[in-house]
Amino acid sequence: TFVSLVNVRCLNKYERNIETCLVNFSRTFIKCPNKSCNNIVRITDSSSDFVRCRCGHEFCLSCKEEPHFPALCKSYKLYMTEVYRNGDLISDFNAIIKVEGRNCLSCNKFINKNGGCNHMTCLCGAQFCWTCYGWWSEHTAPDGSFKCPKPAVDMQVETLLKEHNDALKHYYTAILHRRERFYELQNKRMEHAKRLISTIPLDTFNSDTIQKQIDKREQLSKHTQSMAQYVNTLHRICEFVAVSADGYGDSEPQFKNVLPILETLTTNITQVLEGGRGYKAIEQLKDLYDKTQKEIQKLRRAVTMRNLRMKSGYLTS
């Protein structure tokens, strides 16, 4: 063929140029933002919340970042900037902090020392020595010299929880849902889905019906595993509903109203996957799925109304 006569390097360069033209001059094609992927994705629905490439990477059509429905792209960037600045994805969110210090000899309030001399004065007025943990009045000898009457005492250790600002409750809610999407927790949910299928027994061992039962069991297995993946999607939606409700520029009453309902449904699905048994659990999953879809439709309507207001100039973010 003609292609066999062309230099391979020239052919590859030609194909890259074709791809560049498709991306630069057409709104229908877009390059996958995944750095390890060179696929060109064809956009069939420009109103879609996100696009999924053949490589499995999902991204927002507008900002090319991860899907963040129903939050605006600007809201997503502000939120992620704060997340990385606070280090909430690197350090343990509910971190336990161990601090060395001493309790006041009078009121027992824990004190952490970050410098200065050993003469400590508590807010209650009590004065004591940081080194020997004795009363300061006992540190003056009859000859006027200064010395500790007791040997040095080991430091006490206080265990504290990382402090959370109540004014940012939606931000912390978003972080918690983001942590639920971690790879380890996704795998755990898939294991729960497999456990649920193991609770569905085969009715009979009749050779005529056994194959049909096995096929049905495999279909149910795919269904429960897809529900485990759906929980991950729900956590992502809850995360960015919280972002939208936290005043990052696109706050809507509907977002705050839907968030607790969607969180409850997500928790219920997780509980069914963890402890449900038999066909009853399968029916429960179907019912919960339908309920979550109704709430997501409410979010879509809220986003549509927000977009209309933005076009009309009533919303500037």
| Residue-by-residue DSSP string for 247-284 | TSS---HHHHHHHHHHHHHHHHHHHHHHH--HHHHHHH
pLDDT of residue 108: 84
Task: Among 112, 133, 161, identify where a domain stops.
Answer: 161
pLDDT of residue 92: 54
Query: Does one domain contain both 198 and 262?
Result: yes
Whether a cis peptide bond, with omega within 30° of 0, leads into 33 is: no
| Per-residue pLDDT reduced to its tens digit, 296-310 | 999 998 888 888 877
Name the pTM for this structure: 0.70
Residue 171 lies in a domain: yes
pLDDT of residue 204: 65
Query: Does one domain contain both 184 and 233?
Result: yes
Query: Does one domain contain both 143 and 250?
Result: no
| Per-residue pLDDT reduced to its tens digit, 130-188 | 888 888 888 877 776 777 878 888 877 665 545 555 557 888 889 999 989 998 999 99
Query: Does one domain contain both 145 and 200?
Result: no
CA distance 175 to 246: 12
Contacts of 224 (CB under 8 A, 6+ apart): 193, 194, 196, 197, 273, 282, 285
Query: Does one domain contain both 189 and 307?
Result: yes
Task: Among 109, 129, 161, identify where a domain stops.
Answer: 161
Contacts of 283 (CB under 8 A, 6+ apart): none
Query: Does one domain contain both 248 and 174?
Result: yes
What's the structural domain count of the chain?
Answer: 2
Burial class for 49, CB neighbours closer than 10 Å (0-12, 13-18, 19+): middle
- Show the tokens assigned to 189: 């949910």
Query: Does one domain contain both 271 and 241?
Result: yes
Residues of the chain with pLDDT under 70: 1-6, 11, 14-15, 17-19, 22-25, 90-98, 144, 157-167, 203-207, 247-252, 313-317
> Which residue in the block uniquely carries the two structure tokens 């990052």?
248
Residue 44 lies in a domain: no
Query: Does one domain contain both 288 and 224?
Result: yes
Query: Does one domain contain both 113 and 178?
Result: no
Task: Among 127, 144, 161, identify where a domain stops.
Answer: 161
Residue 249 lies in a domain: yes
Query: Does one domain contain both 208 and 284?
Result: yes
Nearest to 174, CA basis, from 254, 263, 252: 263
Query: Does one domain contain both 155 and 227?
Result: no
Give how far the C-alpha of residue 154 lies from the chain's centroid of Cα atoms, to the nearest Å.
41
pLDDT of residue 170: 86
pLDDT of residue 229: 95
Q: Which domain holds residue 100?
A: 96-161
Query: Does one domain contain both 171 and 153?
Result: no
Nearest to 15, CA basis, from 27, 26, 25, 3: 3
pLDDT of residue 164: 52
